[in-house]
Amino acid sequence: MNKASTILLLLLCMGCAQTTTPPQESETTQNTTAPASQPAAAKPQSTDPEMDKFINDLLAKMTLEEKIGQLNLVSVGFDVTGPIVSENVDENIRKGNVGGVFNTFTPVAVRKLQEFAVNNTRHKIPLLFGYDVIHGHRTIFPMPLGLASSWDMQAIERSARIAAEEATADGLNWVFSPMVDIARDPRWGRVAEGAGEDPWLGSRVAEAMVRGYQGDDLTLPNTAMACVKHFALYGAAEAGRDYGTVDMSLQRMFNEYMAPYKAALDAGAGSVMTSFNEINGVPATGNRWLMTELLRDQWGFDGFVVTDYTAINEMMAHGVGNEGEVAALALKAGVDMDMVGELFLKELGAQVKNGKVTEEEINLACRRVLEAKYKLGLFQDPYRYINEERAKNTMMKPEFREAARDIARKSMVLLKNEKNALPLKPSGTIALIGPLARNQRDLIGNWSGAGDWKQAVSVEQGIRNAVGSKVRINYAKGANITDDAQMIRRLNAHGGLLELDKRSSEAMIKEAVQVARNSDVVVAVVGEAQGMSGEAASRADIGLPGQQLALLKALKATGKPLVIVLMNGRPLTLNWEHENANAILETWFAGTEAGNAIADVLFGSYNPSGKLTMTFPRHVGQVPIFYNAKNTGRPFNGEELNKYTSRYMDVPNEPLYPFGHGLSYTTFQYSKPQLSKTTLKGTELLEIQVDVRNTGNYDGEEVVQLYVQDVVGSSTRPLKELKGFQKITLKKGESKTVTFKLTADDLKFYNNEMQYVYEPGEFRVFVGTSSRDVQEAGFRLE
């Protein structure tokens, strides 16, 4: 078969219900035969014969209705993330129409529902209890994009471990996390929930989160089953509009988007959530190529798949069938559990009768749900996660808050620091200005589980805790986060708690300017409201909202040093801010301990070490913009008058802050990378060494980054791809040699025939402090 017809076959088969040719893993450039796909009903034997026997016996006793009941996931509680809510829940649980519940927690509430299920149904099958534990349960950590910016996998794992400790103490056994969608479009509000734009780094974060939640033993009462979401490609919505259409080449899909899902599964994640989007014409929730052929047959996933919120019903709006048809489509695609929509419950019985689905297919879905309960130890003890005493002793322990403070400061990124404007001296008078300076609500971010914003430490409080009466603080609000009445109404309809200061913006700015004039330095705490990012929170303009930029301009005009502390859920466009501020500290929404952590950084008791994991554009028109882009045939080479090159006429191609950017209070000097060989053979190891010296005045941490370019390929290859990093600590004046190891395996990619191969030829290696600031060496692969 020639190349063109292979691709045609791949494209034709995506989403169809027949055997397709999934991408192939290959050791060398040789072609390999793709594994044949399994029919949906044929359940491969698990590796646990005891579990198989238990489930076989149970399934044999269950009626069709009881089996369908297990496929139904209902929402009980106050957290609603979709347009409809579950009704008649108690009654449905008693009738055996429910396999799991989400949005209910606390030992008392969970016990009540678990008792309904266990005491009233024939087979006493316990319920799963799920929840969106995204960046902490009660102790809230920085929003996920911030967590990733720490580049500290141990700290990230620990945040997930603590989240699981608290969530399971609250009766939960299933967390809807990690969200591992690669995102390159900061207009999309859900960039806040992921690890950013890089598939390699995203994979490391995904693994760390799964390890943190699940530990080594899912039956322990303090571990919870992870749910990898949103499978797949949800972050590639057209124009950054949430729930938007996704359409991309297979090569891009597998080289640039799929790795983090796979990494989370390889780390053992027990469940997968479908995504709302379509993938090349077929909604993910009804996409058999995705959910069965790729996920299970090729990747070997043996857990269960839950839909996203009403995603089966939404396939009607996508335009692929009526209620009965979309229910059948989802089941046949390989979906096991229906979140909130209740179409499995309503339609599958009839679909069996009319022969559109088989009881075998329902058995398979039911088996997978029952297996999850078995793996969690729920059949041994349905109440194993319910323990009032543990709940009392676990939530928001001081050591958990300390961990939250630690990772919060690690997540912060020093974007600019001119003439050492930071750290601040703990003396004199600070003008603390801005709508987020006293704020608590927004600090815990948009998706803060069972977090209580009233427990969050504001920036003002954090500064007072840090420097007490040594520093005089003059406060002025200066501006509202936004003055857009409609936006405020929408934010407040979903828990925004935005209070509009009734004064005119001129009056507020005037007051702030006065305060600034009477102070030594201005610390302006500005940004977005938490509800401006997260689900269904896309923005077309990603600058500072409202009058905040006008406020900053007025503050600048006072001539006082201007330090900007940013809080936001996405990369923003910050050109004026970059040109004019003396220092800019990106703090994201940093969680319960935000204010303390920010004060730690502002006064230098912690030297910032975070690095961006998502590019900050200069202009929204550059979006999507990402570091691992390709060259094009007409790259812009800086020749201004050379018209026919790939560039904008009105803004540079370069972003404002590239992937990997982040400053420290100290400076680091890098040597040129030294390679252990200049020719690498297939099975050999290449060592790349670089000396990094702390040449500044503070001890500090540095994220040493390794990138590779495959210069000539059978397909075009990105200009740079992250292949490794090390976060090191260097005392003032200290120097360390950092060694990276690469093999040919690290250089593999999906070629045009969707074989996963490395290709001999020329490679460039880059090591440095960001994706832009690197030094280079080269080698040949034979």
Q: Interface residues with ligand BGC (CB under 6 A)?
A: 81-82, 132, 176, 229, 308-309, 535
Q: Which is nearer to ligand BGC, 149 or 285 (CB)?
A: 285
Closer Cβ to ligand BGC, 536 or 550, answer by number: 536
In the complex, least distance from residue 194 CB atom to ligand BGC, rounded to whole angstroms: 11
Cβ atoms < 10 Å from Cβ of 53: 10
Six token digits for residue 77: 């509680």
Q: Could you give the count of Cα atoms lying within 13 Å of 86 in the half-sphere of its Cβ?
A: 31
Least Cβ distance, residue 132 to ligand BGC (angstroms): 5
Q: 132, 308, 336, 442: which is the annotated catalytic residue?
A: 308
Helix or strand run (H / E) with residue 323: helix 323-333
In the complex, minimum distance from the CB of residue 81 to ligand BGC, in angstroms, rounded to a whole number: 3
For ligand BGC, give the closer residue by CB, 79 or 520: 79
Return the number of the residue (55 or 179) whose C-beta is nearest ligand BGC: 179
Q: Which residues contact 308 (CB under 8 A, 6 or more apart)?
A: 229, 230, 273, 274, 275, 276, 285, 339
Residue type, 240: G
The shares of helix, strand and coil residues in the chain, as percent rounded to the nearest 5, are: 35, 20, 45
Question: 356 with 328: CB under 8 angstroms?
Answer: yes
* Residue 188: CB minimum distance to ligand BGC, A: 12
Q: What minimum distance in Å lies between the beta carbon of 562 and ligand BGC?
A: 38
Report the residue number, 424 or 537, with the smaller CB distance to ligand BGC: 537
Q: Environment class of residue 444 by beta-carbon count within 10 Å: exposed (0-12), middle (13-18) or buried (19+)?
A: buried
242 is catalytic: no
Q: How far is the CB of 309 from ligand BGC (least distance, A)?
A: 4
By beta-carbon proximity to ligand BGC, the closer residue of 176 and 616 is 176
Instruction: Tell me, letter by letter, the H, E, C secondary structure of 693-744.
Output: EECCCCCEEEEEEEEEEECCCCCCCCCCEEEEEEEEEECCCCEEEEEEEEEH
| Whole-angstrom Cα Rg for the chain | 27
Both structure tokens of 439: 């704020």
C-beta closer to ligand BGC: residue 70 or 307: 307
745: DSSP letter: G
In the complex with ligand BGC, the residue whose CB is nearer, 133 or 391, is: 133
Decide: helix, strand or coil at residue 552. Answer: helix
Is the four-CA dihedral 151, 155, 159, 161 of positive or negative sign?
positive
- 254 CB-side CA count, 13 A: 21
Which of 421, 378, 372, 162 has the alpha carbon at shortest distance from 269? 372
**Minimum distance, C-beta of residue 295 to ligand BGC, in the bound complex (Å):** 18
For the bound state, the minimum distance from the C-beta of residue 308 to ligand BGC, rounded and expressed in Å, comes to 5
Neighbours of 39 (CB within 10 A): 11
> How far apart are the C-alpha atoms of 555 and 547, rounded to whole Å?
12
What amino acid positions are annotated as catalytic residues?
308
